[in-house]
Amino acid sequence: AQKVTQAQTEISVVEKEDVTLDCVYETRDTTYYLFWYKQPPSGELVFLIRRNSFDEQNEISGRYSWNFQKSTSSFNFTITASQVVDSAVYFCALFPVYGQNFVFGPGTRLSVLP
Amino acid sequence: GAGVSQSPRYKVAKRGQDVALRCDPISGHVSLFWYQQALGQGPEFLTYFQNEAQLDKSGLPSDRFFAERPEGSVSTLKIQRTQQEDSAVYLCASSLAGTSSGYEQYFGPGTRLTVT
C-alpha cells in the first residue's frame, strides 16, 4: 500500500523564520519519486521539487532545501527566511515508478505572518 | 507559454444533473490526469490518459464518472446524476511523457463543483 503522512496540519511562523514541513511515506516499491507541491489560495498546484529513491543527496535551491532519509522514509522540506508569499498549503506526494499516479499527503497549511 | 487550463472554474449543479468539466493540457504533453480534491484534503487520483488511451481509471468513484480524451489533447470529465458527495475541486494535470519517467505534472487551476 502507498501512503503519505503529513503530521502537521497547520503551521504559523513569523516572517524571516525558517520552517520545516514534515513528510513520511510508505511504499513497498524500491523505485519511486517524491515531490513537494505548493497550493496557494488561487488553487493551482505548483511544482517545487522532485527526488528519486536512489538519490538521497540533500540539496539547497534558493530558499528551499530538503532532507530525504530513506532509512526513516521521510522527505522533509525547509523554507529558509520565510516570506508572506510562502503562505499556502504544501503537499508531499509519492510517485511509484511502476504505478500510474501520485499519492498525495493531506497537506500542511503554512501561514507566514508579517 | 500557456499552462493547463480548465473550464468552467466554478460550477453549481442541482442534485441529479449531469456536468461536464473540460481540461486543455499543455501543448505536446502526452499524459493527462484527473484528480478530485475534497475540502481540506490532498488531491486523489481519478484517471489517467496517455494520448487518447485511458490507461487507468481505477480512481473513478462510481460508474457515474466518465472521462474521455478522443484526440489526445483536450479531455472532458463527465459526472452523471450528480450527488452532494461529488462536491469538490476537480484538478487536471498534464505531463510531458509517460508516467514511468517520473516527470512532474503541471496542474490547472481546477473546477470547483458544488452540488446543491
Least CB-CB distance to B107: which of A4, A45, A105?
A: A45
Region B30-46: what's the mean pLDDT? 93
Least CB-CB distance to B42: which of A50, A101, A105?
A: A105
What dihedral do alpha carbons B77, B78, B83, B89 form, nearest 10°?
A: 20
Region B38-51: what's the mean pLDDT? 92
Q: What is the rounded distance in angstroms from the CA atom of residue B67 to the CA atom of residue B14?
A: 21
The pLDDT value given to residue B111: 97
Write A44-48 long-range contacts (CB < 8 A, 24+). Answer: A44/B3, A44/B107, A44/B108, A44/B109, A44/B110, A45/A91, A45/B43, A45/B91, A45/B93, A45/B107, A46/B107, A47/B104, A47/B105, A47/B106, A48/A77, A48/A90
For residue B101, report the phi and psi dihedrals to the nearest 5 degrees: -75, -15
Least CB-CB distance to A104: which of B43, B100, B106?
A: B43
The pLDDT value given to residue B100: 52
The pLDDT value given to residue B63: 95
List of chain B residues whose C-beta atoms are within 8 Å of the C-beta of residue A102: 33, 35, 43, 45, 105
Report CB contact under 8 Å: A97, B102: yes
List of chain A residues whose C-beta atoms are within 8 Å of the C-beta of residue B3: 44
pLDDT at B96 over 90: no
pLDDT at B86 over 80: yes
Tell me which DSSP letter residue A9 carries. S
Residue of B nearest to A36 (CA): B104
Tell me: cis bond preceding B8? Omega within 30 of 0 counts: yes
pLDDT at B109 over 90: yes
**Percentage of chain B with pLDDT > 90?**
83
Q: Say if CB A65 and CB A82 are below 8 A apart.
A: no
B:63-102 residues touching chain A, CB 8 A cutoff = 89, 91, 93, 99-100, 102
Q: How many CB pairs under 8 A join A and B?
A: 61
Region B32-52: what's the mean pLDDT? 93
Q: What is the rounded distance in angstroms from the CA atom of residue B76 to the CA atom of residue B11?
A: 14
Residue of A nearest to B98 (CA): A100
The pLDDT value given to residue A100: 62
Q: What is the rounded distance in angstroms from the CA atom of residue B7 to the CA atom of residue A106?
A: 25
Cα A114 from chain centre? 23
**Low-confidence residues in chain A, pLDDT < 70:** 99-100
